Structure formats: structure tokens, C-alpha cells
């Protein structure tokens, strides 16, 4: 009788856990869809923006001048090389700022609006949200391999 009651309880809890997980994931998917489309959070646009920022930074790194030698205490004015370097960093910052992070609705958003990209990017965003934090923490942990060596610590 004890084993039958234990089995019934475990089976019921497994079904309840599965039901809860499905309901939670459905609710997160709906919430993700609302957030993605209401706030224009498009995964594809964000990926393109990150690609453009990376391209801008790598172009800058390729033409990066050598850093000037540190100034001595006797030199009070910044050298021309340091001023040139500072101007280049300011230009890079201005170039990245003009790329504008692609989240939210603005006049520029409507000018470059693509319905197919918006729908696909919003759907990807909603699916990513519906996966839940546990999935993303585990994925990041596997990606970075923080605990690459040694046994897993006891909880």
C-alpha cells in the first residue's frame, strides 16, 4: 500500500510539474510577444547593430596608431600624437553613437521598417524570452565553461 501511494504521489507530481512548466512557458511566450512587438525589440536588428559596431571597432583597430610615450613631469602640454589619438577615439565614439541601438520606436525606425524582419525578429525575441532564465544561465555557463575543471560542488 505504501509503495502504491508513493508511486501515485510521484506520478501526480510529475504531471503537475509538466503542466506548470507548459503553462509558464506559454505565458512567457505571450509576454515575450507583447514586449517584442510593443517595444520593437527585434533580435535580427540587434544582431545587425552588434555586427556594425564590431565592424566599426575592427576598422578602427586596423588603423590604430601607436600610442605615444608617456609624458615626463617636465612636459605639461599633451603631445600632438596624444591629441591625434584622442581625436580618433572621439571620432570612433561619434561613429558608434550614430549607429543608434535598434530598440524602441522612432522616426528612423519607420523609415527602415521591414515587416518580414520585424515579425521574424520579434518572434525570435519572444521565443528567447519564453525559454526562461534557467535555460539562459545554463547556456551561458556551458558557453563560458566557468567550472571547466574539478568536480561539481555539492549543493
Task: Give the per-residue pLDDT at 76.
Answer: 53
Asked if residue 107 and residue 95 are part of one domain, the reply reads no
DSSP 74: T
C-alpha distances in angstroms, 151 versus 129, 137, 138?
31, 19, 17
Residue 111 · residue 100 · CB < 8 Å: no
d(CA 20, CA 15): 9
Query: Among the residues of 69-106, which ranges form H helices?
Result: 80-97
Regarding whether 124 and 142 lie in a shared domain, the answer is yes
Cβ 44 vs Cβ 124: under 8 Å: yes
Other beta carbons within 10 angstroms of residue 121's beta carbon come to: 23
Same domain as 8, residue 33: yes
Structural domain total, the chain: 2
Q: What is the pTM of this model?
A: 0.58
Q: Quick check: 76 and 108 in contact, CB under 8 A?
A: no
> Is 3 contained in some domain?
yes
Task: Give yes or no for residue 75 having a pLDDT over 60.
Answer: no
Q: Tell me, yes or no, whether 71 lies in a domain.
A: no
Query: pLDDT digit string (tens) for 9-24?
Result: 999 999 999 899 889 8
Asked if the model's pLDDT at residue 122 lies above 80, the reply is: yes
Mean per-residue pLDDT of the chain? 80
What are the grid coordinates assigned to 67, written together?
600610442
**Are 5 and 37 part of one and the same domain?**
yes
Residues 6 or more apart whose CB falls under 8 angstroms from that of 92 comprise 56, 57, 60
- Domain encompassing residue 55: 48-64+81-99
Pair (57, 93) in one structural domain: yes
Burial of 117 (0-12, 13-18, 19+ CB in 10 A): middle
Q: Please tell me the distance from the alpha carbon of residue 155 to that of residue 150, in angstroms, as a whole number.
A: 15
Strand partners, 41: 103
The whole-number average pLDDT for the span 79-88 is 73
Residue-wise pLDDT for 20-59, tens only, equals: 988 988 898 899 899 888 888 888 888 888 898 888 888 8
Amino acid at each position: 500500500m505504501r509503495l502504491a501511494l508513493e508511486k501515485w504521489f510521484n506520478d501526480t507530481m510529475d504531471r503537475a510539474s509538466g503542466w506548470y512548466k507548459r503553462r509558464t512557458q506559454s505565458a512567457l511566450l505571450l509576454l515575450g510577444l507583447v514586449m517584442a512587438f510593443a517595444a520593437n525589440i527585434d533580435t535580427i536588428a540587434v544582431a545587425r547593430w552588434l555586427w556594425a559596431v564590431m565592424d566599426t571597432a575592427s576598422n578602427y583597430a586596423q588603423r590604430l596608431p601607436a600610442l605615444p610615450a608617456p609624458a615626463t613631469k617636465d612636459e605639461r602640454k599633451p603631445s600632438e600624437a596624444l591629441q591625434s589619438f584622442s581625436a580618433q577615439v572621439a571620432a570612433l565614439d561619434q561613429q558608434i553613437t550614430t549607429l543608434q541601438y535598434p530598440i524602441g520606436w522612432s522616426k528612423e525606425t519607420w523609415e527602415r521598417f521591414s515587416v518580414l524582419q520585424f515579425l521574424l525578429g520579434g518572434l525570435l525575441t519572444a521565443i528567447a524570452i519564453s525559454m526562461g532564465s534557467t535555460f539562459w544561465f545554463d547556456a551561458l555557463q556551458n558557453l563560458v565553461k566557468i567550472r571547466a575543471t574539478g568536480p561539481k560542488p555539492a549543493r
